[in-house]
Amino acid sequence: MLESVPVVLLLHGVYSSHWAWFFNGKAHRTARSLIAAGQIRPMLLVSPSDGLFEQGSGYLNHSGRDYESWIVDDVLGRLPDAFHCVNRNSPVFVAGLSMGGYGALRLGAKYPSLFRGISAHSAVVSIDDLDTFLCKPFPKEELPHAETDLLGWFVAHRSVLPATRLDCGTGDPLLEANRRFHRELQLQNMDHLYAEFPGGHNWEYWSAHIADSLLFFEQILLAAGWPDHSS
C-alpha cells in the first residue's frame, strides 16, 4: 500500500463546487494519463467545496464563516484520517482556477509551511477583480486590506515561499491583471514561473492546463529528492 502520497488540493472558481475539477475539468483523467506515462507519480487529488457562499467565498474569513480555516485546518487536518495513502509527512500542493487561483496563491503564500508548491490558472489576483464574476460586490469591507492583498503575503513570506507558477489565456479578461501581478513579483525579485497560452476563461483552457500544474509539482518533488513510489 502506498504511503505519504503527495496531495494536490484543487480549488474551484465561482458558481461552482467540489465536483467541478473532476466533472468539468477531468483532472483525475489527466492525472491518470500522466501516471500511466510515467510523467508523474501517484498523487491524491482533493477538491473541497468553498462552502457555497453566494457565487463564491474567495476562500476568506467573512460573513460569519471561516472559509480559510475550513481549507487549511479542517480539510488538510482530516486527510490522514480519510485516506490510508496520506500521512502527516505527505507533501501538499495547492492549485486553483479563477477564484480558486486567488485562493491557491493567497493561502499558499500565507501558510508557506503547509505547501510545497502553488499553481494558479486564470487567477483572480485582486479581490476587486472578483466582482467581475459576481452578481453583487464581494463584501471586502469586512476584511482588512492586508488580508486580501496577494502581493503583501508574498512579500511578507518571501524567504519561505513555496515554488510558484501561474498561467493565463491570451483571450482571458484577467490577462492584464495576471501580467501586472507577474511584473510585481519580478520587481520584488521573487522567483516564480509565468506562462501565457492561447485560450479564454473556460473549462477548455483549464482542462488543458491542469497537466502543467501536476508536472510542476512532480518537478518540485524530484528536485527535493522525494522517493518515487511509481518505480
Confidence of residue 13 (pLDDT cuts 50, 70, 90): confident
Q: Provide mean pLDDT across the span 23-37.
A: 97
9 or 17: whose pLDDT is higher?
A: 9
pLDDT at 58: 67
For the segment 108-129, the average pLDDT, to the nearest whole number, is 94
> In this structure, are strands 44-46 and 7-11 parallel, antiparallel, or unpaired?
parallel
Query: Could you tell me the pLDDT band of residue 56, with boundaries at 50, 70 and 90?
Result: low
Among candidate residues 108, 107, 99, the one with its CA nearest the CA of residue 126: 99
Question: Structure pTM?
Answer: 0.92
Burial of 198: CB neighbours in 10 Å, binned 0-12, 13-18, 19+:
exposed
Check whether 46 has a pLDDT greater than 90.
Answer: yes
- Contacts of 184-192 spanning 24+ positions with Cβ under 8 A: 184/151, 185/151, 185/154, 188/151, 188/154, 188/155, 188/158, 190/154, 190/155, 190/158, 190/161, 190/164, 191/163, 191/164, 192/164, 192/165, 192/166
Q: In what order do the strands lie in the sheet with 193-197?
A: 44-46, 7-11, 92-97, 117-121, 163-169, 193-197
pLDDT band at residue 55 using 50, 70 and 90 as cut-offs: low
The CATH number given to 7-223 is: 3.40.50.1820
What sign does the dihedral 27-32-38-44 (CA atoms) show? positive
* Buried residues in 136-148 as b, exposed as e (16+ CB within 10 A): eebebeebeeebb
Examine the pLDDT at 223 and tell me if it is beyond 50.
yes
How far is residue 221's CA from residue 141's CA, in Å, rounded to a whole number? 39
High-pLDDT (> 90) share of the chain, %: 67
Which cell goes with 120?
Answer: 494558479
The Cα 125–Cα 150 span in angstroms is 7
Is the pLDDT at 54 greater than 60? The verdict is no
The CA-atom distances, in angstroms, between 223 and each of 78, 86, 116, 216 are 28, 21, 11, 11
Length of the chain in terms of residues written:
231
**pLDDT score at 231:** 46
Residue 32: pLDDT over 50: yes
* pLDDT score, position 100: 92
What pLDDT shows up at residue 141? 63
Choose among 58, 186, 75: nearest CA to 133: 58
Q: Where are the alpha helices (DSSP H) in 9-52?
A: 20-23, 27-36
Q: Is residue 53 predicted with pLDDT exceeding 80?
A: no
Q: Is the pLDDT of residue 165 over 90?
A: yes
Among 42, 43, 47, 160, CA closest to 103: 47
Average pLDDT of the residues in 205-221:
98
Average pLDDT of the chain to the nearest whole number: 89
- The domain segmentation of the chain, as residue ranges, is 7-223
pLDDT confidence tier of residue 127, bands split at 50, 70 and 90: confident
What value does the mean pLDDT take over residues 37-42? 96
Residue 134 has pLDDT above 70, yes or no: no
Does the pLDDT of residue 106 top 50, yes or no? yes
